[in-house]
Amino acid sequence: MGDLRVDVADAVATLTLDRADALNSLTIPLKVELLATFRRLARDREVRAIVLTGAGRAFCAGQDLRERLEPGATPLATELRERYNPLILAMRTIEKPIVGAINGVAAGAGASLAFACDIRIAAEGASFLLAFGRIGLVPDSGATWFLPRLVGPAKAAELALTGESLSAADAERLGLVAKVVPAATLLEEARALAGRLASGAPRAIALTKRALNRSWDTTLEESLEYEAYLQGIVGATDDHREGLAAFVEKRPPRFSGE
């Protein structure tokens, strides 16, 4: 692989942005590779959960601004529509849980990548920063959609308009991250969480993620009906039967994904 490391073990794929010398900033090749990887993992039945993290001291510093200064650089709107937007949508529509292991600063579109994960665990020194205003831009890659839903409209407005940094501790207090851990144990904790998710019933987890995504834009009545519809699907699976049998027999279930 190029600037993305992919390691698979025990049904968990760990994706590591690997441009540590450039704070894992996003280039066209890295975005293309990342999107292709998510699409491939979506079809890989051996992978049941994903960890996304960064090499070195940053999670992701966002767009590589040196690339934007190159002659003939793609217009920003086109870059978003062709590369960033498909990537964020791939992360939200892949029916496998993504654990963000936020090892350092997540800035700009790097913060958006973190927001697009299903669950986030942060190292003690990590932070989130919507630095778009510092270069005369607006937050993108889903930041204006995710952040109000994750931390509330008032805090989202403060972070987006002022460009102030949000520490890992404050992110935990706001519910943006599930927990904060020492940097030395971050990847271990993230993989352990992903491992627990990977041991669950794949179809049920996939449809739970689908229902959570859908719930942000539906009424309670619509969500209730959608839950009933999904239960009709998973209630007929082998995994549901296995779960019931394991409960009665007082043993761990062995889910097959069927």
- Taking only the tens place, the pLDDT of each residue in 186-235 is 999 999 999 999 999 999 999 999 999 999 889 999 999 999 999 999 99
Interaxial angle between packed helices 153-162 and 143-151, expressed in degrees from 0 to 180 and rounded to the nearest 10: 130
**Contact status, residue 34 vs residue 53, Cβ threshold 8 Å:** no
Token pair belonging to 247: 């409960």
The per-residue pLDDT for 134 is 86
**How many degrees, rounded to 5, is the angle at CA 198 between CA 192 and CA 199?**
95
Q: Where is average pLDDT lowest: 148-152, 220-224, 242-246?
A: 242-246
Q: What is the pTM of this model?
A: 0.94
3-class DSSP state of 201: coil
233 phi-psi bin (left φ>0, alpha ψ -120 to 50, beta other): alpha
The per-residue pLDDT for 12 is 98
The per-residue pLDDT for 1 is 54
Task: Say how many C-beta atoms besides its own lie within 10 A of residue 170's C-beta.
Answer: 16
- Mean residue pLDDT of the chain comes to 95
Taking residues 75-82, report their average pLDDT: 93
Going by pLDDT thresholds of 50, 70 and 90, the confidence category of residue 167 is: very high
